[in-house]
Amino acid sequence: MSLPFDATLKDLVASHADDWLAMMDETAGGPVQVLTPDLSTVTAFTDIVLHLGDSLRHLDFQSGPDSALPRRILLYNALLFDAYDLPVHSVVILLRPRANRGDLTGTVSYAPRPGRGKLEFGFEVLPVWKVPVEHLLSSGLGTLPLAVLGQMPVGQTLEEALPGVIDRLVRRIETEASAEEGPILLTASYVLMGLRLSRERAVELFQGVRKMRDSTTYQAILDEGRAEGELRGRAEEARQLLLRLGRKRLGKPKQKVIDAIHSLNDVNRLEFLIERLLEVSSWQELLQTP
């Protein structure tokens, strides 16, 4: 499933490739082409690929732990090399600490028959939370939204530092970005902050920003969040009503029954089970209802 930050980051790289290269201590040295390769041999392809002269840069964003990540990066690297006949440098950009399993070395190597052949592959690992926020706040506009994920100043907690970070971020965007680009960059910052804080807290920190209110993307995200919240609320009410009425009709439920009911999130299914209470004689029969 595509996640909001995934599309957001791809758009930022595509529209500000030079800024992202600078964050990786590189300069383009010429035109940069954003590639959208169609490698039909895999069902889910890499995040984004940049063509720089006689080589490629393959960027892959990671927000959670993935034991298959190293071999997946190896696969993408090899497929790109085969497709374009150009050397490929792969960079895995870790967006939050939980994306690092602790054993991510940036290498894949093996030798089934030592001395007779081997494979050695290396890729770059860039943990955003270790990049000083001051560096990100002074970076190009294309990487500026990453500031909300960066390493906060020493001696300040995340909650203490973020309001000031957002204030500086907003002032830079208002000064340097165009009227069309400003809301896009602010919305990107808001989406990325969802990797670090709850949606509710992110809304609180950004709700006073005028350009955020002008962003249709931001408003769509808020509307989606409200809808999700309403559904969660309705599901919780239905679960509580099912358990309360069920206790009166079927007796005290066992813990496994309670767990099964709490695992249900489909409001229509929960309401159907409530209606079925008068037609069944046990919790087991109720939960086995097709």
Same domain, 21 and 117: yes
Q: Are residues 62 and 175 in the same domain?
A: no
Same domain flag for 259 and 140: no
CA dihedral 156, 187, 135, 175 (to 10 degrees): -110
Q: Quick check: is 271 in a domain?
A: yes
What per-residue confidence (pLDDT) applies to 2? 46
Q: Is residue 22 located within the same domain as residue 107?
A: yes
Q: Tell me the CA distances in angstroms from 15 to 48, 50, 229, one per residue in order.
A: 12, 12, 33
Q: Do 165 and 201 fall within a single domain?
A: yes
Q: Which of 147, 141, 184 is CA-nearest to residue 163?
A: 147
pLDDT in tens, 140-173: 999 999 999 999 999 999 989 998 998 899 889 8
Helix axes 181-193, 4-15, angle to 10 degrees: 140
Residue with tokens 């931001």: 218
Is-contact 70 89, C-beta < 8 A? no
Single-letter amino acid, residue 239: R
Residues in the chain where the model's pLDDT stays below 70:
1-4, 38-46, 207-231
225 lies in a domain?
A: no
Question: Could you tell me the residue range of the domain that residue 60 belongs to?
Answer: 1-130
Residue 106: per-residue pLDDT? 94
Q: Is residue 62 part of a domain?
A: yes
Q: Is 94 helix (H, G, I), strand (E, B) or coil?
A: strand
At 112, phi and psi to the nearest 5?
-55, -35
Predicted confidence at residue 126, as pLDDT, reads: 96
